[in-house]
Structure 1
């Protein structure tokens, strides 16, 4: 069994497709398929169920996956150790990103990070380090699960509650505002509380996203039930629905100050402050490159060494 076989196996397993797995490891699909077939012959069992819609793991594949990830992590750690002796960081950092937070610096004193800017500067000083950036359809929840499973090295998340196997470095928090059409009855209000808006029709992110979890928890703690007939996976879509009178939402004002047709009204509830944090595994040390990048992110957020969760 070769490490290359395990690398291809993990890529296909995590991507759910030979095509996407081959694209991820930058190898022709035919070569990936041949390598996996060789692995299956050596094991004496198939590791994938091959279907038209993609692949799923067999029992043997499910048993192999965590072991394969552990071996690849150990191999990366060994290379990092040698690279530190040789001088210069290198390797690949797998980063989970969110679509709507942490990318607008120096706005109204909020502590957020311009992640593309940090990555760009890091690339200049460490050109041998590569990045793979991923979003998750399940937002923060999906990223936390990927950190625990060993699929990501670092992830930006919207929570300060770390599950087992995850360590958080909290960068700051962003206040959420009540957003409504300009013709709405509350558009000119100075501020509102949860009771003022509980009967509204809401547009919100899907369950699992940090801001959805925060909002659901705030209403539940207040003993209020709200209706969420519309879900959107990005703020632009959510605010578009609001602007056209289909509902209201909660969103940050930072970065959306010039949104036309939408009023932003302050919320009195202090729990509606979304924390922004960087998550990484707590049960294994980060690579030298990951540790260096995390230090740069914390420095950019003005919180060197900050941690929480």
Structure 2
């Protein structure tokens, strides 16, 4: 007879992924004492220590905990599959849904998309993760997320992409940049000016490919992996940068002016869309989320970030 619950297993996985009870509490919106009690009960039931308690560094999985973690994820996926079957039979949209989003535009797109979806389907329990492109690929393959909102960057053949928006590249410039007064710029125009490179896996290769096409290299003055830091560095005059999603304001996070200038010429636009694993059963919740995102694009509710609808 089982003396542990799916909820306890869920808390265990949340702590294992977050690395601390406090971060897991924030992620799944459950009190820390409740999560701590669940972990203690699981360890007593299994007769194994699942975590090593490190006072200043949170929790780390023991060897036994790592093995149990792999199986716990399978248990939760199978439990989710039961909900999917029930939903299919009843024709309802319900159960868990975990969405990943590319970190560069998560702040501009995901909260409004999630809020609208949850208001429409209140029986869906949704979680979100912000990751870079390589992390999204890995999370989809390991079934840690059900669907990813991302760009068509380096897409592997075993994942399926549903395009939503075409987003041409733009240059971001501070108010004193020599090119800030122009209506558009070319890569040749940018070539001699310092660049703040958004240095994320695959994203940086995409931006640098513009210069490769003309047989040149940009003057990379600074690199950062954070979109907000990039905008602040641009606003403080460290150089221009390149992005595909248009910020919602002309102000950097630290209050400086940043202008978006279209890049013209032979530069490949990015496509934003939804990425899923191929040849897997899509739950009603996943299908509903994809349909909802397509509806948002068709209704113009993502027009604030720029781009042309592809659906």
- TM superposition score normalised by structure 2: 0.77
Please give the alpha-carbon distance, in whole angstroms, between the structure 1 residues aligned to 2:282 and 2:245.
Answer: 34
For residues 8 and 284 of structure 1, do their structure 2 counterparts lie closer, same or farther at Cα, with a shift above 3 Å needed?
A: farther
In structure 1, C-alpha distance between the alignment counterparts of 2:68 and 2:115, rounded to whole Å: 36
Which of 257, 265, 268 aligns to 1:268? It is 265
Query: Any gaps of 5 or more consecutive residues in structure 2?
Result: 252-256, 300-308
Q: 1:78 is paired with a residue of what secondary structure?
A: helix
Aligned-residue offset at 1:12: 0.8
Residue matched to 2:7: 4
Aligned position for 2:306: none
Taking structure 1 as reference, are residues 51 and 74 closer, same or farther at Cα in structure 2, changes over 3 Å only? same
Q: Quick one: distance in 1 between partners of 2:85 and 2:25?
A: 28
- Which digits, 9 at most, give the CA deviation of each residue in 1:132-181, with x for residues without a partner? 23323xx3333333222322222211224333653221212211123334
Aligned residues between the structures:
291
Change (3 A) 1:5 1:253: closer
In 1, the alpha carbon distance for the partners of 2:134 and 2:43 equals: 33
Paired residues of 1:92 and 1:129 also in contact (CA < 8 A): yes
**Pair 1:60 & 2:64 matched:** yes
Shift, 1:102, TM fit: 8.1
* Distance of 2:145 and 2:210 partners within structure 1: 30
TM-score, normalised by the number of residues in structure 1:
0.77
- The separation in 1 between residues aligned to 2:139 and 2:288, in whole angstroms, is 21
Q: Does structure 1 residue 127 correspond to structure 2 residue 131?
A: no
2:236 to 244, 252, 277: 244
Conserved in 2, the CA contact under 8 Å of 1:239 and 1:262? no
Please give the per-residue CA displacement for 1:253-292, whole angstroms capped at 9, x wherever unaligned.
7456856463625232322x22212122336323211211
**Partner SS state of residue 144, structure 2:** coil
Report how far residue 8 of structure 1 moved.
2.0
In structure 2, C-alpha distance between the alignment counterparts of 1:102 and 1:30, rounded to whole Å? 30
1:108 aligned partner: none
Aligned with residue 172 of structure 1, among 155, 165, 174: 165
Cα distance, 1:5 vs. partner? 3.6
Q: Determine the C-alpha separation between the residues in 2 that align with 1:48 and 1:21.
A: 14
Post-superposition Cα deviations, 1:12-49, rounded to whole Å, max 9, x if no partner, equal 11111122224444444344334334433454543322
Contact kept, 8 Å, 2:106 with 2:130, in 1: the verdict is no
Deviation per CA, 1:223-267: give whole Å up to 9, x if none: 4433242425225x4333223321111134745685646362523
5+ long unaligned stretches in structure 1: 105-113
TM-aligned CA distance change 1:102 to 1:300, over 3 Å? farther
Q: How far apart, CA to CA, are the structure 1 residues paired with 2:259 and 2:94?
A: 46
